[in-house]
Structure 1
Amino acid sequence: MLKKIGILFVLGLLISAALAFYAYQQTNAYLDQPVQIEQETLMTVEPGMHFRSFLNSLEQQELIEENSFSKLASRLAPELTSLKVGTFQVQPSQSLRQVLAYLVEGKEHQFSITFIEGSRFSEWMLQFAESKDVVHTLDGVSEKEIAQRLGIERDKLEGLFLAETYHFTKGTSDLDILKRAHRKLNEVVNEAWDKRQDKLPLKNEYEALILASIIEKETAIDSERERVSSVFINRLNIGMRLQTDPTVIYGMGDSYDGNIRKKDLRTPTPYNTYTMNGLPPTPIAMAGPASIHAAVNPEASKYLYFVASGKGGHVFSKSLTEHNRAVRAYLKQLRINKSQ
């Protein structure tokens, strides 16, 4: 009798071990199955979503196959259960185990939005409106109210944000990005202002931003920025009007159709530097770090004029006679370019 009991006991142990091994294999098979996606896919772990509810969600979407042993996954691999809240980008080659490990690691997917140097605040707002990844909180909000929400004591926000690419996670709002862009702009302009040349005809950081925005609109060539800056600094020093077309265009607003006519140059606006002395009242665009640096560190020169060369870049002149000659050469080059 005891012998039979012993045999039954051993058989029971063997059966239990076999069942445990089978359960172990099936649970591993569940975790090691490929997630059924054909391209990079965003997966979101919502606040309050637990390990089991996340797996249920994947099963309902038929991204993984259900397994009767799946409930053992949390016991077999407890290190995979502490999922971080957020949105994550999953690769088509990943297994469920790899996806869970990635979600535990918590490296959220980074969305991005790029604002180019020389763009306007109105263009930024349009980009926000068209972005599907940004949370929209500023639709229909006036520029003055946006400034108040940002804690900026100005009615116009032109030029008060740093133009660059901003990366962000799901749930980030347009206001959040503007706060970052304004903070980065302040960091750049304050550093540049602290390292500025002596005896500049600029009263403060804001005037440096105004000049930087003009430089940004006049040239996209890095090697020219300090020289373009020197032209405007030289003009300001002798009380000569800046006479820069981008300020005219900005002052024309929606009436600008792509052409500047003589009457436009003669029509006064708060921004027309052909009819007004000194700098315009605000920046005319968002500047990048290079133009901000150039505004407060101009090249040492006696240039007072510049015009496009027609071959890329500009021709700089010290006198009106030289400038008129350069203008004629530019017009001639334009005719050559059109004939080719």
Structure 2
Amino acid sequence: MKKFLFILLFFVLILAGTGLVGYAYYNSVGEKPLNTNEEIIEVNVEPNDNFSRVLTRLDNEGLLRNLLLTRVYFRFNPIETALKPGTFKINAQGSLHEIIQELNEGEDIYEVTVAIPEGFTIERMGEAFEEKGLFSKEAFIQAVKNYIVPSWLENTDERHYVLEGYLAPATYKFRKGQTPSFVVDTMYKAFVNRMYAVLKETGEDLPTSEWNELITIASMIEREAASVEEMPRVASVIYNRLSKGDKLQLDATVVYALGLNAKDKVTLEDLKVESPYNTYYVRALPIGPIASPGAAAIKAAINPEITEYLYYVLDPSIRQHFFTSDYNEFLQKKREFQGN
């Protein structure tokens, strides 16, 4: 009997020891699930991936110590996953929870953030994408030229770019290797969505056949106004001058006609450029937008301030425009502000 009890105790101890070893191994998998000596590795998350698929992919690449135990550990030690597509760098010596947290909060190493401010032209957008290393300015401009424009947008050879004004300014996230045509399409669709959102907000029902005139006016407001607060007032000057049949005579249109991004001072010689964009030359709106307006400028074009103002001149001391309906007062303020 004593011999039997000894043998039984022996097997119990063996089973207990095996259990303890197994439990220790189970915990070690949770504390260090990856099978690599590397400190940092890249983990790719595909669109619509869940964490189980990511684990399977790591196991297929020989990077997991034990797929089954990793899944069991995750099942009994849950942590919220908020995976997003991309390629992420993670600590290969970290715990399962640390790896999940890095995937949840990490930045895609191939993702590039590009800020396109309101008032940018297509030329300047191309420069921004080139500066970020996505593709060259020339490739972007070629994609703009090749884009199949909607039927409501009048395609005329006199325009610098038919899509000028119709690529939404915003902060975009694109992946390295993304094609310029995809970027142009994304930006155009963002413009359309923003346009419908603005129309809904303002209660306007504006057909697409009238979008070109509105965006042309909004683009001038964007480039001329010193602040968002000024935009409805600048809009009133534009509409007042148009209703009187006067030339708009806006320097921003001259700058665009000359193919410049910016210019501190427009010369008298510049004003003579014979361009359908130059509002010192044409007695009408420019042939098309001169930049990409933001939502505030579009709203100002829809709802201008009601004034009798016909002129404005920048007061550089406060970076605001002085508005007037009197031409002599305009000239007086112009001399005052410009030190003449």
Task: Report the TM-score range of the alignment, normalised by the length of the smaller protein.
Answer: 0.7 to 0.9
Deviation, structure 1 residue 275: 0.8
RMSD in angstroms over aligned alpha carbons? Answer: 4.5
Q: How does 1:223-242 map to 2 (within 5 A)?
A: 223-242=229-248
Deviation of 1:170 after TM superposition, in Å, equals 7.5
The match for 1:314 is 321
What is the aligned partner in structure 1 of residue 330 from structure 2? 323
CA contact (8 A) 1:137 1:175 kept: no
Q: Does 1:282 align with 2:303?
A: no
Paired with 1:255 and 1:290, the residues of 2 have a C-alpha distance of: 21
2-side partners of 1:233 and 1:140: how far apart? Answer: 32
State the partner residue of 2:124: 123
Distance change in 2, residues 1:229/1:75 (3 Å):
closer
Distance 1:10 1:46, change over 3 A: farther
Taking structure 1 as the reference length, what is the TM-score of the superposition?
0.75
Structure 1 residue 168: deviation in Å?
Answer: 5.4
Shift of the 57–83 alpha-carbon distance from structure 1 to 2, 3 Å rule, reads farther
The answer for the alignment partner of 1:21 in structure 2 is 20
TM-score (norm 2): 0.75
Residue identity over aligned pairs, in percent, reads 26
Q: CA deviation at 1:89?
A: 5.3
> Which residue pairs with 1:63 in the alignment?
none
What are the equivalent positions in structure 2 for 1:83-232 lying under 5 Å apart?
A: 86-87=85-86, 95-102=94-101, 109=108, 112-132=113-133, 141-147=142-148, 154=155, 156-167=162-173, 174-193=180-199, 195=202, 204-232=210-238
Spell out, residue by residue over 1:94-139, the C-alpha distance to the aligned partner (whole angstroms, 9 max, x if none).
9431244348879985753211011111222232334357999955
Native 8 Å contact 2:33 2:70 kept in 1: no
Alpha-carbon distance between aligned partners in 2 of 1:309 and 1:58, rounded to the nearest angstrom = 68
Amino acid at match of 2:147: I
- Residue 45 of structure 1 corresponds to which residue in structure 2? 45
Structure 1 distance, partners of 2:307, 2:88, is 52
Unaligned runs of 5+ in 1: 60-65, 336-340
Partner deviation per Cα, 1:7-43 (whole Å, 9 max, x = no partner): 334422322332232232233234325999999x974
CA distance in 2, matches of 1:152, 1:102: 47
Residue 250 (structure 2) aligned to one of 239, 244, 247: 244
**Residue 230 of structure 1 contacts residue 300 of structure 1 at CA under 8 Å; is this kept in 2?**
yes
* 1:91–1:158 distance in 2 versus 1, CA, 3 Å: same
Distance 1:304 1:185, change over 3 A: same
Tell me, what secondary structure is at the counterpart of 2:191? Answer: helix
Letter of the 1:123 counterpart: R
* Letter of the 1:304 counterpart: L
Q: Distance in 2 between matches of 1:175 and 1:142?
A: 5
Which ranges of structure 2 fall in alignment gaps of 5 or more residues?
A: 156-160
Asked if the contact 1:138/1:146 (under 8 Å) is kept, the reply is: no
